[in-house]
A and B are shown apart, each in its own frame.
Chain A
Amino acid sequence: MAMAIIFKAVNYMYQPNTPFEQQALENISVEIPTGSYTALIGHTGSGKSTFLQHLNGLLRPTSGVIQVGKQAITPETKNKQLGELRKHVGIVFQFPEAQLFEETVIKDIAFAPKNFGKSEEEAETIARRMAQQVGLDDELLSKSPFELSGGQMRRVAIAGILAMEPEILVLDEPTAGLDPQGRLEMMEMFKRLKEEQNLTVVLVTHQMDDVAKYADNVIVLEKGKLIASGTPSEIFAQPNWLVEHHLALPKAGEFALEFEKKTGYKFSTLPLTEVSLAQQIASLLHGGGVHHG
Chain B
Amino acid sequence: MGKVLLGRYVPGDSIVHRMDPRAKLILSFFFIVIIFLANNWQSYALLFALTIGSILAAKVNFAFFIKGVRPLIWLILFTVLLQIFFSSGGTVFWRWGPFNLSYYGLINGAYVFCRFVLIIFMSTLLTLTTAPLEIADALEKLMMPLKKIKVPVYEISLMLSIALRFVPTLMDETAKIMNAQRSRGVNFGEGSIMQQIKAVVPLLVPLFVSSFNRAEDLATAMEARGYRGGEGRTKYRVHYWQTGDTVGCAVFVAVLIILLFLRHW
Interface residues, chain A, with chain B CB atoms under 8 Å away: 15, 18, 20, 53, 56, 58, 79, 83, 86-87, 89-91, 93, 96, 98-101, 111-112, 115-116, 146, 160-161, 164
Contact = CB atoms under 8 A, between A and B. Distances in A.
Interface in B108-127: none
Interface string B197-218: 0000110011001100000000
B186 A115 contact: yes
Contact of A101 (B173, B182, B201): B201
A83 B185 CA distance: 7
A151 to B, nearest CB: 16
A99 B177 contact: yes
Contact of A164 (B180, B184, B205): B184
Nearest to A93: B180
Contacts of B210: 98
Interface of B: 2, 173, 176-177, 179-187, 190, 201-202, 205-206, 209-210
Contacts of B177: 98-99
11 contacts: A18-B2, A53-B179, A58-B179, A58-B182, A86-B183, A93-B180, A96-B180, A99-B202, A100-B206, A115-B184, A161-B184
Contacts of B173: 98
Nearest to A163: B184
B202 A101 contact: yes
B200 to A, nearest CB: 11
A111 B184 contact: yes
B2 to A, nearest CB: 7
Given A53-B179, A115-B185, 13 more contacts: A15-B2, A58-B183, A89-B183, A93-B179, A98-B173, A98-B176, A98-B180, A98-B210, A99-B202, A99-B206, A101-B201, A101-B205, A111-B202
Nearest to B202: A101
Given A53-B179, A58-B182, A96-B180, A79 B202 contact: no
Nearest to A166: B183
Contacts of B179: 53, 58, 93
Nearest to A82: B182
